[in-house]
Amino acid sequence: MQKKASLPTFTADELVVVNNAVAMAEELVSNHYKMSASQWLHPKYDIKTLADLNPNEIVDGPFAQIIRYEGKPDGGILGSSSYDFYKVCIQDHAILEVLQAQPEIALFPFGLYVVTHELVHIVRFSRFLQSFNATELEKRTEEHRVHRITRTILDSVKTPGMHAVLTYYGTWHSPIDGLKSIP
Ligand SMILES: [Zn+2]
């Protein structure tokens, strides 16, 4: 667990870029899976950057972490017994480190890759194509699969700097995210 105060977070300008990347990733992923707006609202998810994370949502290394909160009815949701809520926790510090070390990598295409990748995970969780309780081997296989799907989705995107990001991930072999379940 990291002390948040010591970690660099996105500036206001960078947050605008990240928000635009999130909007585009949502559109690309829903188009890819041909989901309607209402289908897309299930499962419920939220995407947060470091400034809005709790200490136990911060990790060292990965660019993002998906936390599944197992929802309990709290009176506010009519007719629902239980639901899962996914929080995509963007790790600003890890992304900023890459941008600093790799001048050819820009925030928009890099953020687009990370968020698209995380949304693909969430769609696959919600369709039971991926299990939160998978073995390490299954998780690694799934991570490769999600990278492949992400590349397929982003291959046709004509965003400046996309090619450099796809090249960067072309040789990537470790997970870019953590998964955690909080009851
Ligand atoms: Zn992943």
Instruction: Give me ligand 1 centre to Cα 154, in Å.
Output: 15
Q: Is the pLDDT of residue 2 over 80?
A: no
Give the pLDDT band (50/70/90) at residue 178.
Answer: confident
CA–centroid distance, 78 to ligand 1, in Å, is: 33
pLDDT at 159: 92
Q: Residue ranges of the domains in the chain?
A: 4-173
Q: What's residue 3's pLDDT?
A: 61
Q: What is the whole-number distance in angstroms between the Cα of residue 75 and the centre of ligand 1?
A: 33
The rounded mean pLDDT for the chain is: 86
Query: Is 75 a residue whose pLDDT tops 70?
Result: no
Q: 150 C-alpha vs ligand 1 centroid, how far in Å?
A: 10
Q: How does pLDDT run across 100-138, given as a tens digit for each residue?
A: 999 999 999 999 999 999 999 999 988 878 887 888 888
Centroid of ligand 1 to alpha carbon of 37 (angstroms): 24
- The mean per-residue pLDDT over the stretch 38-42 comes to 66
In Å, how far from its chain's centre is CA 97? 17
**Main-chain dihedrals φ then ψ at residue 86, nearest 5 degrees:** -105, 130
Tell me the CA–centroid distance for residue 82 and ligand 1, in Å. 25
